[in-house]
Amino acid sequence: MHRYSIQDIVSMNSVSAAPLLLGWQISRRAPEGTVRLKIVETEAYRQTDPASHSFAGITKRTAPMFEAGGRLYVYFTYGMHYCVNIVTGPTGEGEAVLLRAAEPIDGIDIMKRRRGIDELKNLANGPGKLAQCLGITDTVLSGTLLGVEISLEAPTESVSPSDISIGPRVGIKKAIEQPWRFYLSGNPYVSKPWR
DNA sequence: CGTAAGATGAAG
DNA sequence: TTCATCTTACGG
């Protein structure tokens, strides 16, 4: 079975990249220690997609989505939450993969402290929660390259297509018919397993 | 300028 | 189901 490098994946369009990012680990070092989580749920957003921030074209906020794949796109929403995306595709295409949920691996005490809760399964089972676990409390990392503050590491065990469930995206009102949400079947850290 | 909506989360 | 909370984008 072929294994893709992270460069391979982020150069693809977001719909192709989103399922391939499942099982990858996202990490961040901090003075207090390193946190690491396994990505278990993703969603693809594309420029031609009415539900995407890039649909209206380049703005100050969405500019990173139009960069070459391999950067972060971080946005603020609902007056209180930050969400993390991996930008994909070539320069000029407004594409990104939203990281919706992850399984805590390392630095669990740090993440519990950042989240203010104790239950493992509620630590990062949602995009805002995932950002909190990574210590993201503003948008300064938006547009930065992977591998600087935030890094991705290859899956420790391979993910096969049969492990992946596909469905409609969460929390949007436009283009809900697009099956661009991907998650690991049966994984307890997925945000909304039933959809 | 004024304002409505939003890729959410937590509590009731 | 409701509400907290505020940036962004768009209309005037």
Q: Tell me, what's the pLDDT at A1? A: 56
Indicate the pairing of strand A72-77 with strand A164-167.
unpaired
pLDDT tens digits along A15-71? 999 999 999 999 999 999 999 999 999 999 999 999 999 999 999 999 999 999 999
Nucleotide nearest to A126 (CA to C1'): B8
For chain A, give the percent of residues with pLDDT over 70: 98
Tokens of A193: 């397993």
Nucleotide nearest to A78 (CA to C1'): B6
The reply to whether A62 has its C-beta less than 7 Å from any atom of strand C is yes
SS3 A123: coil
**C-alpha span between A175 and A168 (Å, rounded):** 9
Six token digits for residue A42: 């993703």
Query: How do the pLDDT tens digits run along chain A, 195 residues long?
Result: 568 999 999 999 999 999 999 999 999 999 999 999 999 999 999 999 999 999 999 999 999 999 999 999 999 999 999 999 999 999 999 999 999 999 999 999 999 999 999 999 999 999 999 999 999 999 999 999 999 999 999 999 999 999 999 999 999 999 999 999 999 999 999 998 765
pTM (2 d.p.): 0.96
Which nucleotide comes closest to A77 if you measure CA to C1'? B6
CA distances from A182 to A3, A43, A65 (A): 18, 6, 20
Helices (H) and strands (E) in chain A, counts: 4, 8
